[in-house]
Amino acid sequence: MAFQSSQLNDDFAWLPPFTHSQPTLADELRAHFAMHRPYFNDIIKLNEPAPHTSLALHQWAQPAALTSLLACYSDHIYRNQPQLVREGKPLKSLWAQWYLGLLVPPLVMALITQPRALDIDPQHIHVEFHETGRAATFWLDVQEDKMATTMSLTQRLEKLLIKGLMPVVDALEKSGEISGKLIWSNTGYLLNWFFGELRELLDESTIAELRHACFFEKKLQDGQDNPLYRTVILREGLLVRRTCCQRYKLPDVQRCGDCTLK
């Protein structure tokens, strides 16, 4: 028996030590999305191989690539009204609403409802475009932004604006026909709506603090102008968008339910 016990101990000595597998940030976000917004996992692919047809910002923002995408989207929008003069401003406004409307809510949820902060640098994000030319699905190379993890929720949101969204807005503005202010106006409306969607995860005081920082502070904490300032305003006790998104000018596109032109 002593020999057998000794031999058993020798056998176990060759085995690697027991380890406890820790969930990755991608695993945590995927589970969080599945619990609170399951469709996010259809829009945002976390640490999955991106298709070769997907593009990073520095690729789709190239003039030739962006022109091709917008031409394709224009053909789709005007497919039933080919005789109409095509308007670039509302077309790009709606194209941007697709892009940011799909991407921003998952990124915001990841940044302000989780202990560890997601790195939202555009180099970690690839997008696959729909056959009509607008954004369809995003692939994220999930990494923790350890500096952002130590920041307040307001600071995390500010980093999203500066590092994640400003490059997108700048690329579209440089393409012509549209002002960055219009894209930021649409984005402010989107953010204000999504803050309301987060009431199950954040208390009212936290949401109020985030709204104040986004929409009622002229400057960001780093001193530059806040692009979301007064993109929504208080009217009859409700925060509403200040300017029209212009989509009403496009054929066969439904007008917003709370259009400012009503």
Tell me how far apart the alpha carbons of residues 262 and 252 are, in angstroms, rounded to a whole number: 18
Q: Please indicate, yes or no, if residue 127 is contained in any of the structural domains.
A: yes
Q: Please indicate, yes or no, if residue 110 is contained in any of the structural domains.
A: yes
Q: pLDDT value at position 21?
A: 62
- Other CB atoms within 10 A of residue 18 CB: 5
Q: pLDDT value at position 23?
A: 87
Q: Please indicate, yes or no, if residue 19 is contained in any of the structural domains.
A: no
- Other CB atoms within 10 A of residue 248 CB: 13
Q: Please indicate, yes or no, if residue 31 is contained in any of the structural domains.
A: yes
Range of the domain at 106: 24-249
Q: pLDDT value at position 183?
A: 98
Sign, Cα dihedral of 131, 134, 137, 143: positive
- Residues in the chain predicted with pLDDT less than 70, given as ranges, are 1-21, 262
Q: Please indicate, yes or no, if residue 16 is contained in any of the structural domains.
A: no
**Contact of 251 with 77, CB cutoff 8 Å:** yes
Specify the number of domains making up the chain.
1
Which has the closest alpha carbon to 142: 164, 108, 118, 106? 118
Q: pLDDT value at position 260?
A: 74
SS3 per-residue string spanning 215-247? HCCCECCCCCECCCCCCEEEECCEEEECCCCCH
Q: Please indicate, yes or no, if residue 150 is contained in any of the structural domains.
A: yes
Q: Please indicate, yes or no, if residue 43 is contained in any of the structural domains.
A: yes
Q: Please indicate, yes or no, if residue 259 is contained in any of the structural domains.
A: no
